[in-house]
Amino acid sequence: MRVASERSGDDVLEQLSEIWPKAAPARVQPVFEDLRTALRVPDIPFPFRLLAHWPPYLAFAVRQFSPFIRSLAFEAAADALRARAATSIGSPPRSERLAAARALILREHELAPKIVLILTAFAVGLRGRARESAPPLGTTLPAQEPITVRPAELPRTVDERIAPLPDLSTVLERGRVLLADLAALRGSPALDDFSRALAVSEPAAFAELLALRRSIEADRLAQVRSELLAQAERAVRRFTLPGARVLPDFMVPEPALAAIDAVVDRLRTIAAEAFLDVTLARVALDGFDAASSAPYPVHVAVDQ
């Protein structure tokens, strides 16, 4: 049994620097490429730049789970999270001030629920199904069965509609102040790509997002976040999870497992907060209907 980490996820994260693709060691490069082409993005999302400090774990987890990312069932699970977030988050006023950040908002609205699902799969896998309680007898099944899970049914590619990240190292003083304000509202570090890219490229839109977030009660946002994470946990049970029991084969020491567990859990919370914010921005920009589905839906003929 793993010993609980003596350090919180925040404590561990403070000691980590991001590993960007250009500086990644050779053993991490194929893992990044696997993620990039499974998610169809031009760059590597923030959680994986941090989890790359544990190459054996990240390689194992990505190898186990990336085939499921490339499935219509995963796309449907992400859309279900988008719809739940959009209908639960409240009624923010429409705001044209966010229009300058449209490409970034659409990028992150495409990615954010997927990042939540992936980190949830990692967290549940680390936790181990053996420690989960069985569903109660008589549990009602869904009236309509979800899409059949077919791993790797979608091709590896990069979607040219998805905008690349700006240089996140160029945050000016105003941007740092905005990020600190957002972190205080969230109760967690603003390490995610959406917040940082907005601070770099569109500080006026960032200020508008802060105003939107302040207009919604913190307790309501906390409740929505809890509901989204619970829905994500239910959704990922349909996929093969990257469990912890085989990790010793990859020579991941026990203390490292405790640190990974703490970091994955914290990154999942940060990702969920980012998802709430990008949903707020999408609803304020385009309305509930648009925010309830993927901005860049998959249009692929699957003849397999």
| For residue 95, pLDDT beyond 60 | yes
Q: Is residue 113 part of a domain?
A: yes
153-187 CB burial, b ≥16 within 10 A, e <16: bbeeeeeeebbebbebeebeeebeebbebbbebbe
Q: Is 272 helix (H, G, I), strand (E, B) or coil?
A: helix
Q: Which residue has the higher pLDDT, 35 or 92?
A: 35
Structurally, how many domains does the chain consist of? Answer: 1
| For residue 4, pLDDT beyond 50 | no
Q: Report how many helices (DSSP H) and strands (DSSP E) the chain contains, helices first.
A: 12, 0
pLDDT band, very low/low/confident/very high, at 42 (cuts 50, 70, 90): very high
Identify the pLDDT of residue 177. 96
Q: Is residue 141 part of a domain?
A: no
Residue 82 belongs to domain spanning: 9-14+26-130+157-163+219-291
Question: In angstroms, rounded to a whole number, what is the distance separating the alpha carbons of residues 274 and 84?
Answer: 15
Q: Is residue 168 part of a domain?
A: no
Q: Tokens for 110? A: 């495409």
Q: Is residue 212 part of a domain?
A: no
User: 285-291 long-range contacts, Cβ below 8 Å, gap at least 24?
Assistant: 285/94, 285/95, 285/98, 285/99, 285/102, 285/105, 287/94, 288/86, 288/87, 291/82, 291/85, 291/86, 291/109
Q: Which residue has the higher pLDDT, 242 or 136?
A: 242
Identify the pLDDT of residue 247. 55
Q: Is residue 151 part of a domain?
A: no
pLDDT in tens, 178-204: 999 999 999 999 999 999 999 999 999
- In this structure, are residues 252 and 129 in contact, taking their beta carbons and an 8 Å threshold? no
Q: Is residue 46 part of a domain?
A: yes
Q: Which residue has the higher pLDDT, 129 or 77?
A: 77
Q: What one-character-per-residue DSSP string does 88-149 give?
A: HS--PPP-GGGGGGHHHHHHHHHHHHHHHHHHHHHHHHHH-GGGSPPPPTTPPPPSSPPPPP
Q: Is residue 269 part of a domain?
A: yes
pLDDT band, very low/low/confident/very high, at 252 (cuts 50, 70, 90): confident
Question: In angstroms, rounded to a whole number, what is the distance separating the alpha carbons of residues 217 and 276?
Answer: 13
Q: Is residue 201 part of a domain?
A: no
Question: In angstroms, rounded to a whole number, what is the distance separating the alpha carbons of residues 69 and 83?
Answer: 19
Tell me the pTM. Answer: 0.92
| For residue 2, pLDDT beyond 50 | no
